[in-house]
Amino acid sequence: MMNEQISDASVTGAQDVPGWYPIAASGGVVKRKPIGIKRLGQALVLWRADDGRVVCVPDRCSHRAAALSAGKIRDGCLECPYHGLRFDASGRCVLIPANGVGAAVPQGFDLHPINVREEHGIIWYWYGEGEPAREVPWIPGASEPGFGAAEYWYDAAVPYLRIVENLADFHHFPILHKTMIPGIGTRMDEMDAHVENKIVVFSATMRYEKPGALRRDAKIKASFTLPAIALIEFGGFYVNYFLCPIDDHSCWVFGRYRGVKMPDLIAHAVGKLAARYDRAIFMLQDRHVLLAQGDAPGDLSHFKLYPADRALALLWGLRKQAILEGRRSGTELQNDAAAAAAG
Ligand code: FES
Ligand SMILES: [Fe+2]
C-alpha cells in the first residue's frame, strides 16, 4: 500500500530541481584569497571584494582559460596566476600586464559574474531557468551561524540524492550504526510525517522491544526542504545539513551543529567533536552501503517501503512537484520567446 502511494513520486536526475543551492559556507570565503569549487557540474571561483560582497565567476580566465581560483586577490581585484590579467568585482578586466599599465583593455576580456546571495552564513547559487525565487529555502528554527554553532564541510564521493535519501532515514541508525551510535532501539513508534509549507516534518520515538535501564526511548525530530536542507534534533543537538551536488557522483556536505540547551562555549567545543564524529560515521559506515546500493538514486519506484520511510516518500513527492513546476516554467519561457519572435 505504502509503495503504491509513493511510486508516483519517483523521479530521477540529480540536478533537476530548480532553486537556490547552498554552495559554500560564508566562513570559507575570505578576502585574502579566492577559492575554487565545483558545484552542479560547474567549476566556480568565489572571492570576497573589499566591501565584503561575495563575487562568483566561472573558474576560467577569459584569456587562455587558466583556473582563476589558483590566482590571488590584488588591489581589490582577482588576478589570474598565468599572465596576470586582473578582474574587478563586477568582472571587468582592468589590466593586461603585457599590454602595459594604463593601456585600454580591449573588449571581450570581461568575466560574467554569477548572481549569488549570502544569507544565514551560506552562499547560495541559483540553479534553473527563469527568474530566481525571491527567498532562499529555509526551515524555521534552523540554526544561524555564530559562536555557539560549530560548522564543518567536506566533499563526499557519494551521489547527492543518495545522501538525501540517507538523511531522511533514521531507522538505519540502530542497525548500521549500532557500534558508533549505540543505545537506540529499532522500533519506530509515535511516528508522524507531514508536509507544511513545502517542508517535510517528521517525528518519532525510537524504542527497544524490551526496554531497560540503559535501553531508553530516543526521541527524534527532523525537517527537510528542497533542494537539500535538513534540520535534525537528536542527541542534544540541532544538526543542520546543507547539501549541493558537485557532479553526478559526489556531493558537498555542510553541517552546522548547535546545542539544544547548553552554553555557547560548551556547544561550540562539543559541536566540533560531534561534527568530526558525524563525518567519521558517514565515511566509515554509511558510505560503502550507499555506494553499493542498487537502482539509480532518486527513483523510489522499485523500492518496497514501509511506514518508517514516510519522510523520504513525502520529500520525493515534493521533489517531483518542484521538477514539474520547473519544467512548466521552462516551457512557459520557451513559449514566451516563440510568441515574441512571431510577434
Ligand atoms: S590565462 Fe589568465 S592571464 Fe593568461
Ligand atoms: Fe547513517
Query: What tens digit of pLDDT does each residue of 132-150 get?
Result: 888 999 999 899 998 889 9
pLDDT bracket for residue 329 (50, 70, 90): low
**Ligand 1 center from residue 46 Cα (angstroms):** 17
**Ligand 2 center from residue 231 Cα (angstroms):** 15
Q: What CA–CA distance (Å, rounded) separates 180 from 192?
A: 26
Q: What does the block give as the cell for 43?
A: 567549476
| pLDDT given for residue 325 in this prediction | 80
- Evaluate if residue 295 carries a pLDDT over 90: no
Give the torsion through C-alpha atoms of 101, 107, 111, 113, to 10 deg: 120
Q: Which long-range contacts (CB under 8 A, 24 or more apart) does 333-337 make?
A: 333/129, 333/130
**Cα 138 from chain centroid (whole Å):** 12
- Evaluate if residue 131 carries a pLDDT over 90: no
**Ligand 2 center from residue 292 Cα (angstroms):** 14
- Evaluate if residue 6 carries a pLDDT over 70: no
The domain at 149-319 falls in which architecture?
Alpha-Beta Complex (3.90)
- pLDDT one-digit tens code per residue, 175-220: 999 999 998 999 999 999 999 999 999 999 999 999 888 888 999 9
Tell me the domain boundaries of the chain. Answer: 30-120, 149-319
Q: Which ligand is nearest to the CA of 173?
A: 2
| pLDDT given for residue 120 in this prediction | 97
Q: Which ligand is nearest to the CA of 174?
A: 2
Superfamily of domain 30-120: Rieske [2Fe-2S] iron-sulphur domain (2.102.10.10)
154-178: burial string, b at 16+ Cβ within 10 Å, e else = eebebbbbbbbbbbbbbbebbebbe
Q: Which long-range contacts (CB under 8 A, 24 or more apart) does 99-108 make?
A: 108/62
Give the torsion through C-alpha atoms of 93, 96, 100, 104, to 10 deg: -30
- Percent above pLDDT 70 for the chain: 91
| pLDDT given for residue 90 in this prediction | 97
Q: Which ligand is nearest to the CA of 59?
A: 1
Shortest-distance Cα residue to atom 3 of ligand 1: 83
Q: In the predicted model, what is the mean pLDDT of the chain?
A: 89
Pocket of ligand 1 (CB under 6 A): 61, 63-64, 66, 80, 82-85
**Ligand 2 center from residue 110 Cα (angstroms):** 45
State which of 45, 57, 61 you would mutate to test the pocket of ligand 1, scoring each by most atoms of that ligand within 8 A of its C-beta: 61
Distances in whole angstroms, Cα of residue 240 to Cα of each of 116, 164, 202, 290: 21, 13, 15, 21
Burial of 122 (0-12, 13-18, 19+ CB in 10 A): buried
Cell numbers 548500521 correspond to 176
